[in-house]
């Protein structure tokens, strides 16, 4: 589920590591490996910002992440599946109740 939260955060507009950490509440040791896997799977693409800009702002360069079309399709499919599972569980609980 952590990988799903990371992909959702990037899709919602979180762009770089610390931004994604803040959006998800997950630790860096979870976020960065998930981003790496998502990039290997083709769900996100990354690019480094201009080091001159980062230097002017007195910080290290940021690596920016964007969800790909394939990543959006995968995210939608997973969310649909989770929604269907949740709906089925709700019906099961109501049938028992």
Q: What is the CATH number of the domain that holds 85?
A: 1.10.10.10
- Please state, as a whole number, how many other Cβ atoms lie within 10 Å of the Cβ of residue 76: 11
Tokens representing 23 are 């959006």
pLDDT score of 6: 98
Judge whether 77 and 10 are in contact, CB under 8 Å.
no
54 lies in which domain range?
2-96
Greatest C-alpha distance within the chain: 63
Q: Indicate if the pLDDT at residue 70 is higher than 70.
A: yes
pLDDT tier, 97 (very low <50, low <70, confident <90, very high otherwise):
very low
pLDDT at 96 over 80: no
Number of domains into which the chain is organized:
1
Residue 38, number of CB atoms within 10 A of its CB = 23
- DSSP letter at 59 equals S
pLDDT in tens, 11-34: 999 999 999 999 999 999 999 999
pTM of the model: 0.83
The pLDDT value given to residue 88:
67
């Amino acid at each position: 589920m952590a990988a799903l939260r990371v992909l959702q955060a990037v899709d919602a507009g979180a762009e770089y590591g610390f931004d994604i950490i803040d959006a998800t509440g997950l630790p860096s040791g979870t976020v960065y490996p998930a981003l790496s896997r998502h990039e290997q799977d083709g769900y996100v693409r990354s690019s480094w910002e201009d080091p001159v800009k980062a230097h002017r702002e007195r910080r290290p360069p940021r690596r920016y992440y964007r969800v790909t079309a394939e990543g959006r399709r995968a995210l939608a499919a997973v969310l649909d599946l989770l929604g269907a599972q949740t709906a089925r569980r709700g019906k099961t609980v109501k049938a028992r109740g």
